[in-house]
Amino acid sequence: MKLKLILTAVLLSSFQLFFAQNTTNETINTVKADTINKLNTVVASTSTTAVDKETLRKEAKELKAKMREEKKALKEAKKAEQEKKDFEKEQKAFTKQQDRILSGEKTVNKIKTKISREEKSLAKNKEKFEKKKSRGKLDPTEIEQENIKISKQQIKINKLNDDLTKAEEKLSKSRS
């Protein structure tokens, strides 16, 4: 690069001297002085460009280091964001599971209360039936109707017990 600049300056000065008109020594001396000044400035600029090149290299290294740091920071930010999303997802799944467990427990409790009500009702109906039967106020058709009512209640209780076992199984699955 320096060589090109120097050769260009020499070439320009030689063209200027070749095409110059006959002049006095003063103008030649001033032209020589001007070309020498130009060469000195070119050489000075080339020497400063070497210093500039070094500073540019240092700046480039610093920029690369900053870019690496920014990439690392970006990766860490993405990683933290992904961890946050995963944590939120796990927490959402946990709350959903807790809701399922609560819902299952409510269902089991409802079925248990229904069973207890039906058993109480069955016991009352059996007592009424036994009282009426012991008094002898019932004819055979009424006895059969009462037996049918009692058996229907027993079937209902059995269905509720089946529902209870299913709900308890579902609850145990949701807990594990």
User: DSSP string covering 50-84, please?
Assistant: HHHHHHHHHHHHHHHHHHHHHHHHHHHHHHHHHHH
pLDDT in tens, 18-49: 666 555 556 666 766 677 776 667 666 665 66
Task: With a cut of 60, say whether residue 91 has pLDDT above it.
Answer: yes
Provide the pLDDT for residue 61.
84
Rounded Cα–Cα distance for residues 115 and 161 (Å): 7
User: Does residue 145 have a pLDDT over 80?
Assistant: yes
105/140 Cα distance (integer angstroms): 45
Is the pTM above the cut of 0.85?
no
CA 82 to mean position of chain CA atoms: 4
Q: Which of 48-52, 55-59, 125-129 has the lowest mean pLDDT?
A: 48-52
